[in-house]
Chains A and B, each alone.
Chain A
Amino acid sequence: MLAKRIIPCLDVTAGRVVKGVSFVELRDAGDPVEIARRYDEQGADELTFLDITASSDDRGIIFRIIEQVASQVFIPLTVGGGVREVGDVRNLLNAGADKVSINTSAVLNPQLVADAAGRYGSQCIVVAIDAKQTGANRWEVFTHGGRRSTGLDAVEWAKKMQQLGAGEILLTSMDRDGQKNGFDLALTRAVTDALEIPVIASGGVGNLQHLVDGVKLGGADAVLAASIFHFGEYTVRQAKEFMAQHNIEVRL
Chain B
Amino acid sequence: MVDVAVVDYGMGNLRSVEQALRKVSPDAEIVVSDDPGVIAEAGRVVFPGQGAMPDCMRELDARGLRDAVLMAARDKPFLGICIGLQMLFEHSSEGNVAGLGVLRGEVVRFAGDMSDAQGSRLKVPHMGWNRVRHGDHVLWNGIEQNSRFYFVHSYYVLPQDPSLVQGTSDYPQPFVCAMSRDNLFAVQFHPEKSQTAGLKLLQNFVHWNP
Residues in chain A within 8 A of chain B (CB atoms): 1-5, 40, 45, 70-71, 74-76, 93-98, 118-124, 167-168, 193, 195-199, 219, 221-222, 251
- What is the predominant secondary structure among interface residues of chain B facing chain A? mixed
Q: Mark B137-155, 1 if CB is under 8 A from A, else 0.
A: 0000000000010111110
- What is the predominant secondary structure among interface residues of chain A facing chain B? loop
A31-B170 Cα distance, complex, nearest whole Å: 38
Partner of A121, one of B11, B150, B194, B195: B11
A198 pairs with B125, CB closer than 8 A: yes
Question: Chain A's nearest CB lies how many Å from the CB of B172?
Answer: 7
A40-B120 Cα distance, complex, nearest whole Å: 28
Neighbouring B residues of A3 by C-beta, 8 Å: 128-130, 148
Sample of 21 A–B contacts (CB below 8 Å): A1-B131, A3-B148, A74-B194, A75-B150, A75-B193, A76-B152, A93-B15, A94-B13, A96-B15, A120-B51, A121-B12, A121-B50, A121-B51, A123-B51, A123-B153, A195-B123, A196-B124, A197-B124, A198-B128, A219-B121, A221-B123
B125 pairs with A197, CB closer than 8 A: yes
Q: Which residue of B lies closest to A97 (CB)?
A: B13
A45-B20 Cα distance, complex, nearest whole Å: 17
- The total of chain B residues at the interface (CB under 8 A) is 43
A121 pairs with B148, CB closer than 8 A: no
B171 pairs with A121, CB closer than 8 A: no
- Decide: A74 near B128, CB < 8 A? Known: A3-B148, A121-B52, A198-B123: no
Question: Chain A's nearest CB lies how many Å from the CB of B25?
Answer: 14
- Decide: A198 near B15, CB < 8 A? Known: A74-B192, A121-B51: no
- Decide: A98 near B16, CB < 8 A? Known: A74-B193, A198-B123, A221-B123: yes
